[in-house]
Structure 1
Amino acid sequence: MSSNQPELHLQQFSKILNLLSNGKKLESIWYGPPPEEAPTLLFLHEGLGCVSMWRNFPEKLSQQTGCGAMVYSRLGYGNSDACELPRSLNFMHPEGLEVLPEIIVQCKINKCILVGHSDGASIALIYAGENSTESLLGIVTEAPHVFCEQLTIRSIEKVGEQFRSGNLQKLLKKHHGSNIDCAFKGWLDVWLHPDFAEWNIESCLPKIMVPQLVIQGNDDEYGTSAQVEA
């Protein structure tokens, strides 16, 4: 049976992204068709995540949708360059307003759908709130944070205790290697900083003009339905 659908050139490769804004390097991996052939799913990891912690989910989603999938680790995570500590309390804003736009341009992504988890979902919202370009087709946010909840703080305090016990530290070191302090301490110290209780990105939400799929678990230890109702 013949098909009128164009043949997609599927590929998988790793690439080091050189950020012109600060001279740092980010690890990334690409699955599926290149950006000139199909829209790109651009994955933004959680507060303790990185490329490897997505496992095979981006590749599977690429196969099922026919889209390309681009995954990268932010500074201080995975095999990307280290970051400076302490992180700024508004660290998600530069990620969404400076780093992410640079990555999209550098990778020549013409049409993209952002797929963000937790902190990555917040970064996606920040980007979408300030970029109403035709290149952004939509965003998928899994357990996004739009303000700081006491539930989140209490759960992160427990994670800090687990890290100090050694088991969590060993697990995370498999993914972050020498970046373990940047990844964990950088994340923990921001969320537990007294001033971070006032952190809020609700002002970004009314400015988002693209379709959204928002996912929030009923039993999420790090956030409630109030996040998606904001």
Structure 2
Amino acid sequence: MSITSTQKYIATPLGQLFSQTWQVKSCDKAPIILLHDSLGCIELWRDFPSQLAHITQRTVIAYDRLGFGKSSLHPAQLDADFVVSEAIEDFKALLAAYEVTDFVVMGHSVGGGMAVACAAAYPQQCVALITEAAQAFNDNKIRQEIQAAANIFQDPQQLARLAKYHAEKAQWVLDAWVSTWLSPAFEHWHIDQQAALVQAPSLILHGELDEYGSLAQPERFKANLANLAQVHIVQGGHHILHKEQPDLVLNIIQDFLAHVA
């Protein structure tokens, strides 16, 4: 079955959100909405959304969060509650723009935490939750790895690579990641409360060797999710599982969603 892709901008009080869909014809199943990571955007998902639409036979919708990719500049720095506020701001605007009722939400890295917040905020609409390499809480391992990455980005060539996807917003994107996660206000951040409110069936994907989250992260999700979550640890996997082992990730998701409306 062929996949058609379309793009559009969504107006919000703070600026335009760039979005893209991979449409499956004659599909009556809930679409999958993708939430990207701290340095990500639609373009950095590569061909994963198209592959996901094909294997699940569901429409896939992705968007660049405000300040990222082709979306508008963010007017300020990120607040300490930005992970949870995404559910009631940009995500809400996306649902309205596409007239989405029921949905599957999937997030990578910090997008996984946002996906948890979205599932908690829309318990009647979210039919399934999928996280990949998500952080349930902040800890020393995460902060140490982010600081190491920040040191690497002091090389102008590294920032130039980021600008390929975020243009003039690249420095803001980097600062939003580093400054937020390393700030004292974010030191004790966690998403336990939102996880406990999730009612949808959940799939937690995590790499055995994830640089930005030990196996304590999926264990924390499993302990706090109100439903019986499926946790899948990918042996030898790191932080970007959909890029490292796409076929495995796609097949796991297909199996998980096989009985979801």
Question: How high is the TM-score relative to the length of structure 2?
Answer: 0.80
Query: Is the partner of 2:7 in helix, strand or coil?
Result: strand
Counterpart CA distance in 1 for 2:96 and 2:171 is 30
Q: Deviations over 1:6-43 (max 9, x none)?
A: xx884211111112xx1410111110237973321100
Q: Which runs of 5+ in 1 are unaligned?
A: 1-7
- Distance, in Å, in 1 between the alignment partners of 2:161 and 2:198 is 36
Question: 1: CA distance between counterparts of 2:100 and 2:141?
Answer: 37
Q: Which runs of 4+ in 1 moved over 4 A?
A: none
8 Å contact 1:35–1:108 — kept in the other structure? no
Distance 1:169 1:113 in 2: 33
Deviation larger for 52-61 or 34-43: 34-43
CA distance in 2, matches of 1:145, 1:29: 25
Q: More relative contact order in 1 or in 2 (CA 8 Å, sep 6+)?
A: 1
The 1:34–1:127 alpha-carbon spacing in structure 2 relative to 1, beyond 3 Å, is farther
Counterpart of 1:198 (choices 188, 191, 200) is 188
User: How far 1:121 moved relative to its partner?
Assistant: 0.4
The 2-side partners of 1:129 and 1:23 are apart by 24
CA contact (8 A) 1:51 1:71 kept: yes
Matches within 5 A, 1:209-224: 209-224=199-214
Deviations 1:113-135 (A, max 9, x none): 111001100001111123211x2
**Could you tell me which residue of structure 2 aligns to residue 32 of structure 1?**
23
Q: Which residue of 1 aligns with 2:42?
A: 51
Match of 1:157 in 2: 147
Conserved? CA contact 1:132–1:208, under 8 Å: yes
TM-score (normalizing by structure 1): 0.90
Superposition RMSD in Å: 1.7
Q: 1:110 Cα deviation (Å)?
A: 2.5
Q: 1: distance between equivalents of 2:208 and 2:4?
A: 37
Task: Measure, in 1, the Cα distance between the counterparts of 2:89 and 2:19.
Answer: 17
Tell me: CA distance 1:101–1:172, structure 2 relative to 1, closer, same or farther (3 Å).
Answer: same
Instruction: Give me the identity figure in percent.
Output: 25
Please, which runs of 5 or more residues in structure 2 have no aligned partner? 221-261
